[in-house]
Structure 1
Amino acid sequence: MNSIDRLTDLCPPPSTAPPTDWSSTEQALDTRLPTDYRQIADAYGPGSFCDFLHLYHPHAPTRWTNLTGPMPATIRTQLQHDRDNGSHPVPHDPGHLFAMGVTDNGEYLFWIAEPADAPEKWTIAANQARGPRWYTYGGGLADFLVAALPGRETVPLFPDDLLAQGVFFTPTTPAPTPAPVDTAPQPLAGMTANSSDVRTWARANGHDVPDHGRIPVAILEAWGKTRNR
């Protein structure tokens, strides 16, 4: 049984998921993507594991969780800024970090994209949302999910009660077509001075938001919708 079979056995996918034109997606991103990621995206579609971990997907309904949106480039730019200024430790070359997921707490999940032309060798990293810690996993995405979701691999950045309701996947309504590729870095709420505006809006609208650190993705999405009206 391969990693994808183990994952779908552990966490059954939805009955249907939108197909993705991977050739066009990879051409637009100017990079090949790992086979296991494409298989996961095809099997599950956009959504979240355990109502916590969102993998970026070409059909994700918002720019915050879209693989072809601005977030991977924006996060890479911020990490380079952190590393150059010594404000936060970044143990990997930001140029080799490809953000491909986010948690509701604000941790980002990355491929360590080395070698760049060998995606089957890419491994996994995550950084702490409100602190300096990093976590690395020496395997691919499918292996990571198979190990982390049932708790066989301890991810110290994830909450202790993550698996309180078991392992499950919650789909979200997909965008009808993949979003246009947007690799230009954008200001990232929760990492810039604009975070105070987001926190003020969130509290005024009944959201529980931390005083410091990254703002949970659900709040960023809700705030983003008000900005786009």
Structure 2
Amino acid sequence: MTGWQAGRQEMEWSGVEREFGTPLPADFKEICEVFGPGSFCGYLELLLPVDSTDPYSLVGRWEELKSRRDSPQVRSFFEPYRVFEESGLILWGVSVTEASYCWLADASKRPEEWPVVARTDPLEEWHRFDMSTGEFIWRVFTDREFRPVSVAAKVARPYFEAC
């Protein structure tokens, strides 16, 4: 999709998955290792499994949200869902326009069965997509009919920009 040709970056997933108490989707892990830090089309950034104290990492963001899960702000952000604890939303990506990309995760199910739940604005309703993370990302940038999350009309050719 992007023509990206960088070397693969092995990432430590066992500690991350131990923190969550569940494996994460294999395609997400592969996308993170293939692309590393950066953004798709200057728009979508993945939360990577770096230092868990980093508030912009996958675990760091989850820990921060989990610590405030009972606050009215966090509860209203995730409604009608909740922050993951055996089940709930795990935030895996964000956009420059405040879009949020999550899995509706359930530790009792295979992570490949988790749907993607997304919204393009914090004040909007969540939208559920029964597909893999990779297919979801692909369609956001290539499918003009993939409403309401598509940005394909604004992207001439999908690209990845490392940081």
- State the TM-score, normalized to the length of structure 1: 0.58
CA drift of 1:126 comes to 1.4
Alpha carbons of 1:25 and 1:94: their partners in 2 closer, same or farther (altered >3 Å)?
closer
> 1:76-155 to 2 correspondence within 5 Å?
81-82=71-72, 90-95=79-84, 96-155=88-147
CA drift of 1:106 comes to 1.3
What CA distance in whole angstroms lies between the structure 2 residues aligned with 1:160 and 1:151? Answer: 6
Matched, 1:73 2:47: no
> 1:191-206 to 2 correspondence within 5 Å?
none
Greater strand content = 2
- State the TM-score, normalized to the length of structure 2: 0.78
Q: Which runs of 5+ in 2 are unaligned?
A: none
Count of matched residue pairs: 159
Aligned-residue CA RMSD (Å): 3.0
The Cα offsets for residues 55-94 of structure 1, whole Å up to 9 and x where unpaired, read as 111248x93431121x123345666544897x56723344
Instruction: Look up the match of 1:50.
Output: 41
Alpha carbons of 1:98 and 1:158: their partners in 2 closer, same or farther (altered >3 Å)?
same
Query: Which structure's CA Rg is the greater one?
Result: 1
Alpha carbons of 1:72 and 1:89: their partners in 2 closer, same or farther (altered >3 Å)?
closer
Alpha carbons of 1:82 and 1:126: their partners in 2 closer, same or farther (altered >3 Å)?
farther
1:27 to 4, 15, 18: 18
Residue identity (%):
23
